[in-house]
Structures are given as structure tokens and as C-alpha cells.
Amino acid sequence: MVTAARVTGFGNATPECVEQEALWEGFFARHFAGARAAGRVFRSARVRRRHAAVNPLVEDVSTWSTGARMRRYAQEARPLGLGAVSAALADSGLAAEDVGLLAVASCTGYTTPGLDILVTAELGMPLDVQRLAIGHMGCYAAIPGLGAVSDFVVAREKAAVLLCLELTSLHLQPPVEDLDQAVAHSLFSDAAAAVVVQPGRGDGGLAIVDVAALTDPAGADHMTWDVTDLGFRMGLSPRVPDVLAHHVGPMITELLGRHGLTTADVDAWAVHPGGPRILDAVGEGLALPEEALSASRHVLAEHGNCSSATVLLVLEALRHGGRPRAGRYAVAMAFGPGLTLYAALLRAC
């Protein structure tokens, strides 16, 4: 009987890279001319470069209908999804025909037939491969997605793939004086990230030990993602870091405690870099040393906030850096609408 699932392969694919300063000078300085503090917001985002399937320096989609944006999503998402899943399968040493489930998480676009069907068909996965679409959960979707595919792997004794694909650049909003929109447009980016999860406790990979969640309904209006006639509109409250700081310590202490662990036993922290203030709040809430969040800060600087794909990019960066070390633990966590915190406890096999 299989009692464990482990992440054995990582892959990612990103569209064109754009420098943050070029975006500000070439487009957003004019776009947010009515918001006097927007320049300060962009400079404080701690983002050096981002990736954009729809580059505002080339085309301004702020007046596009939601329908037009969804058609562009279908066009741009397919090659990125194929690239990320192919890379993850190659990294794990598995063939497409070995996959029993493909789960796709995205909150930035919808199309039917969806990415789950297009990717399974083009890569040659079996006709009876199971599929799961995880929609509109936002930045934390990778963690419940990881929990769902690991449950499948243990129950069915077959490998699974989780693909997180977000094209936030499609949802450029019309010019406003609202600083919430300046914050969102200073941070968000595009990426596809995939992981392969296999059954067993074999050599290598990251065993998925546990998954935990916490939702504070009092913060339900602090982070929103509304479908409008002009794409999806982000709502961000400046209170989000304070709410996270209040909850993250007790939540992670409880998750670790049920396995006889403390934060001192964690060798790697993969924290979703929702923004610099969020990383600061998590670090303070868990009393982490500054270097504990270096991988998260690096991904924020080099990729921006890619919504659900971001925490997988951080995990991949940690793995390339040799963390967590063999036999040691990692914690991956992400945050989103609800206000919701999700975390996964992983152990290096």
C-alpha cells in the first residue's frame, strides 16, 4: 500500500521578460498620471523584472472586453502550459503516458476545452487520464492543488501533475487614481509552473507530509478578484500584511507541532512573495532570520508575483540551492482571497 506522495520533478515556462523600470517609464507613469504616489508604489515593489504575455509597451489591453482577453488567454496559455509540464516530466524521468491525473490551477483565464484537455491531448497522456480544474482560488491555489494531487497519488498509486498557469498581464485595468490598482500592476506577472508527484518513499524528491489551511472571514474584503466587463479587477487592502502577521505564527506552529516539530526544524521556507510587506510580515510573525526568505525575495525580484505559480517557482529555486537538505523539512505557504492562508509541510527524501 502506498502511504506517501513525493514531488519528483519541477518545470516552468515564462513569456517575454520586461524590466520594471521600462514598464514604469514607458507606460505606467502615463497610465497612473492621476495617482500621485504611483511612482513610489512601483519603486517600493522590489521587482526588477517581470514576464508578460501581453506587454503594455507593445499593446494596451486596458479597454479590451473580458471576452477578448479570454480568447487571448487561450492563445497564450497553451504553449506555456505545454512547456512547463514537459519540463517537469523530463525532470522527473516520467513519460506522459505514466500520468494518471493532470490538475490545472488558474484564476486569470477560462476556456473550454480547457488547458487540462489541451495539454493532456498534445502531450499524449492516456485517454483515461483524470483531470481537475482549480479556478479562481488566487495566489494560494498551488497548495490545495498539491494536496489534491497527493491524495490522488496515494489513493490510486499513479503519478500526477499539477500545473499552475497565470497570465495576469491580460487584466490591465483602465487608468484610475486608485492606488490599489497601482500596487497590483507594480507586482503581478505571468508564469507557468508545474510539478510531478509520484507514489512511494523512493530516493529523491520532496515527500508531502501535511497540508493546512486557515481562513479569516473578517478579512474577506481585504483581497478580491472581481470579474468585470473589462477583465478581472484586483482589490487589495493595506491591512493584508497585518492580518497575515496575526495568523501565520499560530497556524504554522500548529502544523509543525502535530509532527513534533518547531520552526527550528525547518530547513527551507518557500513563502509566496505577494509583496515585500507580506514577506516582512511572515518573517516577523515566525521570527525567521532574514536569509530564510532569500529565495522568496529573489523570485519576487526576478519574476514578480505570478499568483498561484509563484510558490512553485520558490520551491524550485530552493531545490536548485540544495534546500531542504536530505531528511530535513520545508514549509511552503501562500495567501489569497478569503482571507486565506495555506501551507504544506514537505520533507526531502
Active site residues: 139
DSSP codes joined into one string, 41-86: HHHTT---EEE-SS-TTT---TT--HHHHHHHHHHHHHHHHHHHHH
According to DSSP, the β-strands at 340-348 and 266-271 are: unpaired
Q: Is 345 exposed, middle or buried (0-12, 13-18, 19+ CB in 10 A)?
A: buried
Contact 309, 248 (CB under 8 A): no
Residue 108: φ, ψ to 5°: -110, 0
CA–CA dist 340, 59 (Å, integer): 34
CA–CA dist 275, 185 (Å, integer): 12
Take residue 29 and report the three cell numbers written for it: 507613469
Q: Where are the alpha helices (DSSP H) in 124-275?
A: 142-156, 179-187, 240-257
Strands (DSSP E) found in the chain: 5-13, 17-19, 49-51, 99-106, 130-135, 159-167, 190-199, 206-215, 223-228, 231-236, 266-271, 329-336, 340-348
Contact 343, 331 (CB under 8 A): yes
For residue 202, count other CB atoms closer than 10 A to its CB: 12
- Cα angle: 278, vertex 297, 198; to 5 degrees: 95
CA–CA dist 246, 341 (Å, integer): 11
